[in-house]
Amino acid sequence: MPLESNVDIRPATGKLGILLPGMGAVGTTFIAGCLAIRKGLSSPIGSLTQMGTIRLGPRTDDNAPLINDYVPLAQLDDLAFGGWDVFEDDAYVAASRAGVLDGHMLEQLGDELRAIKPMPAVFEQAYVKRLHGDHVKSGASKWDLAQQLVDDIHRFSEENGCDRLVAVWCGSTEVYREPSAVHQSVEAFEQGLRDSAPEIAPSQIYAYALLSQGIPVANGAPNLNLDTPAMLELARAGRVPVTGKDFKTGQTLMKTILAPGFKARMLGVEGWYSTNILGNRDGEVLDDPESFKAKEVSKLGVLDTIFQPETYPDLYGDIHHVVRINYYPPRGDNKEGWDNIDIFGWLGYKMQIKVDFLCRDSILAAPLVLDLALFLDLAQRAGLHGVQEWLSFYWKSPQPAQPGLYPEHDIFIQLMKLKNTLRHLMGDDPITHLGAEYYD
């Protein structure tokens, strides 16, 4: 169904509950950040919904409201936070352990953070080998576990007086798996749940439980989840919006900023060597080759669609693209993403670019969780459902609107698409940047 223009968007009245399967570094940095901003202790830097503007009409109109004033988004004061984790640490303890935010900041949010306690997780060791937690559910079958999640969802919603819910997977990266027969339809998936099929991963049980209750879901990790026919069928049937996957934060953010620039100037690329040192729990989980494989596939996919090697074989036909992640505990959450890029210009002369991004992983990811939650909620109130391709902006591995379409990785095209979608929903003209009206 084509995207309709000037749609009726239900108002964002009442409370929006944000559910996070996985309340580790990203999850708690997101929650604590929202609480801190709400209290006026800090500002929402990195969040497009909170700080971004959107131009409307010709440049001469000088009309560029805040996105938050233009589209009806849920406001920070109206958010409630909850989730699940395999460790029973409340959000204060988990945030302290993650070591992203300083103790002084966390102390000021202490009571609110301590009140946010994760619900017991659906977990299977085989899917995250380096994680050993005991705050987990037990059940007669995977179907039973899904029903327990549904009960959790309703209890959370009632206890927190929520009018609407959205979910963002902030759990660990599960091992790499290809879709199998149980992922091909809702019917096969439900039978798989009853049979406790080993091919069904915990993250998929959450997605099933959430989508079956009409709750929009975003997948922040690279593992197989919303990108299966079964989940898409479920989303379509319940008219629920979904989006994924794998937050685009440190090194891949840099890649999708730089690569479109090289291509715009028709500069060739011979090689792109990327390595990371990372010392948080995510780094430890990714130290397992099977979890790393899921991440590697996600990170490697980016360059091909930006460079279009089949269209530009002389420039990009033979790129050596290598991605490494090294678990190195002393760095904690403060990752170092290092890139060596071998490019070539006029007459094939070679040049090199080195990028050393001393980033903070969860500081980059937290505002994306907020934007995704608010935009998914907007999408649902606007009657959008299925894959929300306009949210590709946030992902390392964006899901195309239809199977077979190539995904859009160029961050500048992604941003234009996002803003034009907002204009379209609100009944304003998209901005093409043609500017024909300004010429004499």
| Nearer CB in complex with ligand NAD: 54/98 | 98
Nearer to ligand NAD, 49 or 291 (CB): 291
Please choose, out of 171-179, 313-321, 382-390, 427-435, the segment that lies near ligand NAD by the rule CB under 6 A: 171-179
Report in angstroms how near the CB of residue 126 gets to ligand NAD at its nearest.
Answer: 11
In whole angstroms, how close is the CB of 78 to ligand NAD at the nearest point?
24
Count interface residues toward ligand NAD (CB under 6 A).
Answer: 37
Is 24 or 268 the residue whose CB approaches ligand NAD more closely? 24
Contacts 24+ apart (CB under 8 A), 430-435: 431/55, 435/59
How many CB atoms neighbour CB 228 within 10 A? 19
Least distance (Å) between residue 425 CB and ligand NAD:
27
Give, for 211, the enclosing helix (H) or strand (E): helix 202-212
Q: Which residue has the tokens 């759990």?
A: 171
Q: How far is the CA of 354 from the CAs of 228, 256, 333, 341, in angstroms?
A: 37, 15, 22, 6
The least distance separating ligand NAD from the CB of residue 332, rounded to whole angstroms, comes to 11
According to CB under 6 A, which residues from 67 to 86 bind ligand NAD?
84-86
Q: How far apart are CA 164 and CA 187, in angstroms?
A: 27
Determine, following the binding rule CB under 6 A, whether residue 218 of this chain makes contact with ligand NAD: no
Q: Name the closest residue to ligand NAD (Cβ).
A: 24
When binding is defined by CB under 6 A, the residue of 16, 128, 341, 379 that contacts ligand NAD is 128
Of residues 174 through 203, those in contact with ligand NAD by CB under 6 A are: 202
Residue 327 binds to ligand NAD (criterion: CB under 6 A):
no
Tokens for 178?
């290809």
Verify binding: residue 120, ligand NAD, rule CB under 6 A: no
Q: Which stretch binds ligand NAD (CB under 6 A): 148-156, 268-276, 357-365, 384-392?
A: 357-365
- Single out the residue of 193, 231, 364, 422 in contact with ligand NAD (rule: CB under 6 A): 364
Q: Confirm or reject binding of residue 121 to ligand NAD (CB under 6 A).
A: yes
Q: What angle do CA 328, 329, 333 make, to 5 degrees?
A: 100
Q: Determine contact, residues 366/29, Cβ cutoff 8 Å.
A: yes
Q: Which of 219, 362, 380, 414 binds ligand NAD (CB under 6 A)?
A: 362
- Rank residues 206 and 390 by Cβ distance to ligand NAD and give the closer one: 206
User: Under the criterion CB under 6 A, does residue 274 sit at the interface with ligand NAD?
Assistant: no
**Identity of the residue, 333 or 428, whose beta carbon is nearer to ligand NAD in the bound complex:** 333
CB of 335 to ligand NAD, least distance (A): 8
Q: Does 122 bind ligand NAD (CB under 6 A)?
A: yes
How many beta carbons lie within 10 A of that of residue 115, not counting itself?
Answer: 11
The HSE-up count of residue 185 (CA atoms within 13 Å, CB side) is 3
Nearer to ligand NAD, 68 or 96 (CB): 96
CA-to-CA separations, 237 to 10, 194, 243, 346, in angstroms, rounded: 20, 21, 16, 53
Assign 62 to helix, strand or coil. coil
Strand order, beta sheet including 217-219: 119-120, 79-85, 15-21, 162-169, 217-219, 241-244, 386-387
Give which of 238, 232, 229 is closest to 183, Cα–Cα. 229
Return the residue of 281, 299, 331, 409 that touches ligand NAD, per CB under 6 A.
281
Map residue 401 onto helix, strand or coil. coil
19 binds ligand NAD (CB under 6 A): no
**In 335-437, at which residue ranges do the beta strands (DSSP E only) sit?**
336-344, 350-358, 386-387
Residue 18 near ligand NAD by CB under 6 A:
no
Tokens read off for 437: 């009206």
Contacts of 107 (CB under 8 A, 6+ apart): none
Cis peptide before 129 (omega within 30 of 0): no
Among 109-117, 224-232, 246-254, 315-323, which window interacts with ligand NAD (CB under 6 A)? 246-254
List C-alpha distances in Å: 375 to 73, 75, 232, 238, 272: 7, 12, 19, 18, 33
Cβ-Cβ contacts under 8 Å for 140 (sequence gap 6 or more): none
Pairing of strands 268-278, 320-327: parallel
Lay out the site mask for ligand NAD across 141-170 (x = CB under 6 A, - = otherwise). -----------------------------x
| CB of residue 224 to ligand NAD, shortest distance in Å | 13
Interface with ligand NAD (CB under 6 A): 21-27, 84-87, 98, 121-123, 128, 131, 133, 170-173, 202, 220-221, 246-247, 249-250, 280-282, 285, 361-362, 364-365
